[in-house]
Chain A
Amino acid sequence: MSTKTSLSAIPGLPKLLRSFRLSAWLGWQIESNWADPFLFAIYSLVKPLAAVGILVVMYSVITGGDFESAMFTYMYIGNAFYLFVGQVMTGISWAVIDDREHYKTIKYIYLAPIHFPTYLLGRGVARFLITSISVAVTLILGVLFLDVQIILSQVNWPLLLITMLVGVNMLAMMGLILASVMLLMAHHNWGLGEAVAGALYLFSGAIFPLEVLPPFLRLIGYLMPTTYWLELIRRSLAPQIAGTFPTLQNLSNTQLFEILLILTIVFGILSVITFRWCDHRARERGLIDVVTNY
């Protein structure tokens, strides 16, 4: 295999778009064509709703169901949007194991004239689309039944849209870093993307303000782009609760957005470096089409 296939010979934009479009279509087929649309819709909603349900019950048990508090809205919105982190990262990174060890097609994909990182990013699209619906349903149910403080007339739609746009790219870059690492790893774990997302849950201020963490852990939270992404999401959806918590209170929306953008670019550069290094190592060690089923 020529190392130029995906290292230096980056094809033009039309070819990149074609790789992306086709891998997105493939990902959608893999994710959705095992069931009829109704069953698939239920499946897509039950898992995220249960994830939110865990927190709702935990909160309810301790506070006696005080859902009108700012803390609950903070937690609910953060948790709902955090679903994207696990799903986008899993969608992109699991494609490596799926193609390498399940379908055993990765060697053909490597040989084909496509840009492999773009292919991986495309594989994450299906999960992103499914999760978007899950998040929307979660938010609607929260507003209707749990007093989540989202008032449609107060939502900052342009901020929400641009934050989502940058945020999705940031998550895609994080997913690509994980996918690169998986090129070198044996298939020990089934839910690696979700395991990484679960760990980052701690540092992102998704379900509690960073002030709750000890100072040395708080520092990691300030380095994570997801922290700023979730804060901007909260500010755009529920601006009235944004000032309730001291985390990032001194930063304006513009400053938060600039930090998010810079960290997204940093993660983008890191993902390119990580992919090149891991791809090279995987080729050198003959791991591209290895099967490691324990």
Chain B
Amino acid sequence: MATGVPAAPSTLTTPALRLDKAGGWKLFLKTVGARAYPRVIGAQREKSWMFFEIFLPLLAVAAYVFVYRAIQAPEEYIGFVIVGGAMTAFWMNILWSMSSQLYWEKETGNLALYIMAPNSMMAILLGMAFGGLFMTSVRALVIFVVGSWLFQVQYQVTSFWQLFVVFMLTMIALYGMGMMAASVFLLLSREAWHISNLAQEPVYLMSGFYFPVKNLGFVTALAASFIPLTVGLDALRQLAFPSGSSLGFLSVQVEIAILIGLSIIFLIGARWLLAYMEKLAIREGRLTESRR
């Protein structure tokens, strides 16, 4: 150039400005952390959720305890309500903060950015799960500890090892289901919102959140077993209460096997559906548009 103005140094060749791009597993983990971060930090910035997410649900669970007291139920049923009430936190998290989240992200304009960015959608969903787990676990733990203390629930754990395995498998299968449902709900668009709304009380009923699922009959309980919380909750009760095994739907070993199967199916399903959804977004270019 003959303008007399010295040319600016090219930014492309300046080593100091070159970005250190992550790739592979490092990118995957960074993405998980990045998506979990706003959820954890958001919970710190405005603590009103503690009142609405912990204290109020605790009162709602207490209402079911007093129903059992009013009809003079055996004391163990109060323990069943506390354990079931604590687990509702995870189901709510799956429904609203996992399954519906991609639809919500689409509506708020973030989904297109997620798909364009050179990261894995699986990592984004895992980040959502870990971020959401923080608030959810606090809620579940408080309901469990405070509820057990307030209503003097007596536990008699037969195997801590199995209890831990059942809980972890239930979480893996449940969050796998949430990741899979996120893609399905996104494809369903606005109906997803209503499906989430619909899947609260009916699932509390079918999965036996407040009573042993065995009481619904074998066929109904079996049909409800595709929701990991049905068998997970039943196994937890069997392992934590003296009369749990007599009120159990299937043996703990069988329920563990079902949970392993569900974990594998849901995680593979989530990966497959996410890939399909990404393909659809690229091919048709309509997935990320907001249709109201």
Contacts and interface: CB of A to CB of B under 8 A. Distances in A.
Interface string A67-107: 00001000100000000000000000000000001110000
Interface residues of A, number: 47
Contact of A198 (B38, B63, B69): B63
Contact of B52 (A46, A48, A188, A209): A188
A69 to B, nearest CB: 9
A59 B71 contact: yes
B60 interface: yes
A212 B48 contact: no
A208 B62 CA distance: 12
Interface in A241-294: 291-294
A188 B205 contact: no
A212 B78 CA distance: 14
B205 A198 contact: no
A contact patch SS:
helix
16 contacts: A34-B191, A47-B197, A47-B198, A53-B205, A54-B201, A62-B77, A190-B92, A190-B97, A190-B196, A191-B200, A199-B59, A207-B63, A212-B70, A292-B46, A293-B104, A293-B105
B49 interface: yes
A212 B194 CA distance: 36
Interface stretch (B172-180, B209-217, B279-287): B209-217
Contact of B201 (A51, A186, A293): A51
Contact of A190 (B71, B96, B209): B96
Nearest to A213: B66
Interface in B29-83: 38-39, 42-43, 45-46, 48-49, 52-53, 55-57, 59-60, 62-64, 66-73, 77
A291 B205 contact: no
Interface residues of B, number: 58
A46 B204 CA distance: 12
A58 interface: yes
B134 to A, nearest CB: 11
B53 A188 contact: yes
A103 B107 CA distance: 8
A152 interface: no
Contacts of A47: 197-198, 200-202
Contacts, number: 143
Given A35-B191, A57-B215, A189-B49, A198 B72 contact: no
B110 A195 contact: no
A242 B200 CA distance: 32
Contacts of A35: 191, 194
B202 A62 contact: no
Contacts of B13: none
Contact of B56 (A101, A190, A196): A196
The 4 A-B residue pairs with the shortest CB-CB distance in the complex, in nearest-first order: A198-B60, A208-B70, A294-B42, A199-B59
Contacts of A1: none
Nearest to B192: A34
Interface in B257-273: none
A109 interface: no
B3 interface: no
A208 B69 contact: yes
Contacts of B108: 101-102, 291, 293
A34 B292 CA distance: 9
A71 B70 contact: yes
Contacts of B206: 50
B60 A54 contact: no
| Max chain B Cβ within 10 angstroms of own Cβ: one of A51, A71, A294 | A294
Interface of A: 34-35, 43, 46-48, 50-51, 53-55, 57-63, 71, 75, 101-103, 185-186, 188-192, 195-196, 198-202, 206-209, 212-213, 291-294
Nearest to B197: A47
B68 to A, nearest CB: 7
Nearest to B56: A199
A293 B70 CA distance: 41
B248 to A, nearest CB: 14
Interface string B110-123: 10000000000000
A89 to B, nearest CB: 12
Contacts of B194: 34-35, 43
A102 B212 CA distance: 38
Contacts of A55: 67
Given A195-B60, A202-B62, A54 B42 contact: no
A112 B209 CA distance: 46
Given A34-B190, A47-B200, A208-B70, A202 B63 contact: yes
B69 A212 contact: yes
Contacts of B215: 57, 60-61
B198 A43 contact: yes
A103 B104 CA distance: 11
B201 A188 contact: no
Given A189-B52, A208-B69, 4 more contacts: A46-B202, A54-B211, A185-B46, A198-B56
Contact of B70 (A185, A198, A209): A209
Interface string B80-103: 000000000000100011001000
B42 A186 contact: yes
Contacts of A291: 108
